[in-house]
Amino acid sequence: VSRLSEIIKELLLNVFFVIFPLFVYQMFWIDKKRNYPKWDRVVIFLFPLSSILLCMSFPITFSSSFHFDLRQIPFILGCLYGGYPLGFGLLIGISSYPFLLYGQGVYINFLVICLICLVVPLLKSKFSSSSLRKKTMTTVGISILSASSTMIFAYLFIDIPHLFSAQFIGVQAFGMWLITYLVETLRTNIRLKDEIIKAEKINVISQLAASISHEVRNPLTSTKGLIQLMNQYDFPEEKKKEFLKIAMDELDQAQKIITDFLSMAKTKQDKTDILNVAEELRYVIDVLCPYAKMNAVEIHTDFIGKNYWIDGEKQKLHQCFINLIKNCIESITDKGTVHVKLSNLQDQVLIDIRDTGCGMTLDEVQRLGTPYYSTKDNGTGLGMMIVFNIIKSINGQLDIESKKGKGTRFFIKLPLALTKPLDS
């Protein structure tokens, strides 16, 4: 009995080693990985490797010459998701580990790992496009095969009691089933997060569209008026020139509104860049200008001569500011102002966005960022969640002060970039 409980303990520890890096990945890396895309490959290598090495360090002692552990699970998954590069990387990591020198069984375990490394990556492309059911069937199938071949080799080459063999194969298969589900859930969650951000962006664009078209119609109407006027009466040459200039300016204005709006709506692959906060804020405020006008809101800024540089993704930063300032505009029911100020605090840039809108109670402030929390008829309650996400992903901080009936103030602190672009 004590032997059995010993084995169960060792087994549970192994299961823990396989699961633990996945949790760490989910908790600490997912939000960071966009900013350090180069490091993602290293992390994706280190996580299964640490699982494997931990499993090998605390194996289940089968007999004095043979140790069993769950290292095959992360190894198989590594080969399936990462193909040959990851498989060989892990193999090198395993071979350089001193704990490998455990009796004769070592060679058998190593032989099986080598076989997995040669064969399993071939399934990668087919695997990545199959359904969850097929994926679990594949991983469980491979793990049963690899566990049984380990056991068969052990039985053939070294004399081990084959008492527990079936159980170990079962445990490995069950462990694999569990882990595959976990990995797939994790991947779905990452994908969903991106999807939500995209969907909300489209939603915001459609909400802004009415004000944009309204704002484009104004210059068109006045230009049309001018042309009609010039057609009806014979003006002196100078007057005509003046009219034409006004008409051109109006059309330029319309063109700029449309260009800005379209460039915001474009979703392209975004990468980290060194960004001038004032420039990005000014762009966002230009896009929101028609919306503010329609809601009788004025936007005041003080960016002149304030150049602070941060590391971030342009589109994400735009989305963050648009969501925040749009909320400020919407909080104003009658007439009001939104102030956007910039300053710096040591190694941070401070963006202070303040409205004279309806404000919130402390309770409401605390609910901000909860998905689907909205007090608006056509609200989605995703805007603030995305704001929090984006700020967190660039290592920033968001503080909120609000007074019911008076207004709300958002303080965003973002770390300054260490380097400035060369041309500034």
Please report, as ranges, the residues that interact with Mg ion according to CB under 5 A. 327, 383
How far apart, in whole angstroms, are the C-alpha atoms of residue 52 and residue 63?
20
Taking the complex as a whole, how short is the minimal distance between the CB of residue 197 and Mg ion, in angstroms? 13
**Of residues 68, 111, 63, 71, the one with CA closest to residue 90:** 71
Under the binding rule (CB under 6 A), the answer on residue 155 touching ligand ADP is no
The residue assigned the tokens 């009219």 is: 243
How far apart, in whole angstroms, are the C-alpha atoms of residue 71 and residue 77?
10
Residue 358: contacted member of ligand ADP, Mg ion, none (CB under 5 to 8 Å, by partner type) = ligand ADP
- The span from the first CA to the last CA of the chain, in angstroms, equals 74
- Of 323 and 393, nearer to ligand ADP (C-beta) is 323
Q: Which residues sit opposite 355 in a β-bridge?
A: 338, 408
How far apart, in whole angstroms, are the C-alpha atoms of residue 415 and residue 344?
10
Taking the complex as a whole, how short is the minimal distance between the CB of residue 267 and ligand ADP, in angstroms? 19
Under the binding rule (CB under 6 A), the answer on residue 333 touching ligand ADP is no
Task: Dump strand ranges (E) for 5-110.
Answer: 60-63, 66-68
Q: How many CA atoms lie within 13 A of 48 on its CB side?
A: 28
Cα–Cα distances in angstroms (integers) from residue 96 to residues 77, 93, 178, in the given order? 20, 6, 29
Compute the C-alpha angle 148/149/154, nearest 5°.
Answer: 100
Residue 360: contacted member of Mg ion, ligand ADP, none (CB under 5 to 8 Å, by partner type) = ligand ADP
Residue 299's φ and ψ, nearest 5 degrees, are -110, 120
Under the binding rule (CB under 6 A), the answer on residue 297 touching ligand ADP is no
Under the binding rule (CB under 6 A), the answer on residue 408 touching ligand ADP is yes
The residue assigned the tokens 């984006």 is: 390
Under the binding rule (CB under 6 A), the answer on residue 162 touching ligand ADP is no
Binding test (CB under 6 A) with ligand ADP, winner from 240, 376, 403, 420: 376
Q: Which stretch binds ligand ADP (CB under 6 A): 51-59, 66-74, 225-233, 351-359?
A: 351-359
Binding test (CB under 6 A) with ligand ADP, winner from 292, 360, 412, 414: 360
Interface map 309-328 toward ligand ADP (x if CB under 6 A): --------------x---xx
Under the binding rule (CB under 6 A), the answer on residue 381 touching ligand ADP is yes
Under the binding rule (CB under 6 A), the answer on residue 198 touching ligand ADP is no
Compute how many residues bind ligand ADP; rule: CB under 6 A: 21
How far apart, in whole angstroms, are the C-alpha atoms of residue 88 and residue 166?
29
Binding test (CB under 6 A) with ligand ADP, winner from 374, 388, 392, 395: 374
Under the binding rule (CB under 6 A), the answer on residue 208 touching ligand ADP is no
Q: Given phi > 0 = left and psi -120 to 50 = alpha, else beta, which region is 237? A: alpha
Residue 341's φ and ψ, nearest 5 degrees, are -120, 150
- Of 241 and 403, nearer to ligand ADP (C-beta) is 403
Taking the complex as a whole, how short is the minimal distance between the CB of residue 306 and ligand ADP, in angstroms? 23
The conformation of residue 27, written as its DSSP 8-state character, comes to I
Count the Cβ atoms, other than its own, within 10 Å of residue 374.
15
Under the binding rule (CB under 6 A), the answer on residue 379 touching ligand ADP is yes
Report the greatest alpha carbon distance in the chain. 111
Binding test (CB under 6 A) with ligand ADP, winner from 81, 373, 388, 411: 373
Interface map 11-50 toward ligand ADP (x if CB under 6 A): ----------------------------------------
Binding test (CB under 6 A) with ligand ADP, winner from 55, 357, 391, 412: 357
Under the binding rule (CB under 6 A), the answer on residue 380 touching ligand ADP is yes
Under the binding rule (CB under 6 A), the answer on residue 355 touching ligand ADP is yes
Binding test (CB under 6 A) with ligand ADP, winner from 73, 151, 173, 368: 368
Strands of the sheet with 407-415, listed across from one edge: 297-301, 336-345, 348-355, 407-415, 397-403
CB 147 within 8 A of CB 172: yes
Under the binding rule (CB under 6 A), the answer on residue 375 touching ligand ADP is yes
- Of 175 and 359, nearer to ligand ADP (C-beta) is 359
Helices (H) and strands (E) in the chain, counts: 12, 9
Count the Cβ atoms, other than its own, within 10 Å of residue 221.
11
Taking the complex as a whole, how short is the minimal distance between the CB of residue 284 and ligand ADP, in angstroms? 15
Taking the complex as a whole, how short is the minimal distance between the CB of residue 208 and ligand ADP, in angstroms? 12
Return residues touching ligand ADP (CB under 6 A).
323, 327-328, 331, 355, 357-360, 368, 373-376, 379-384, 408
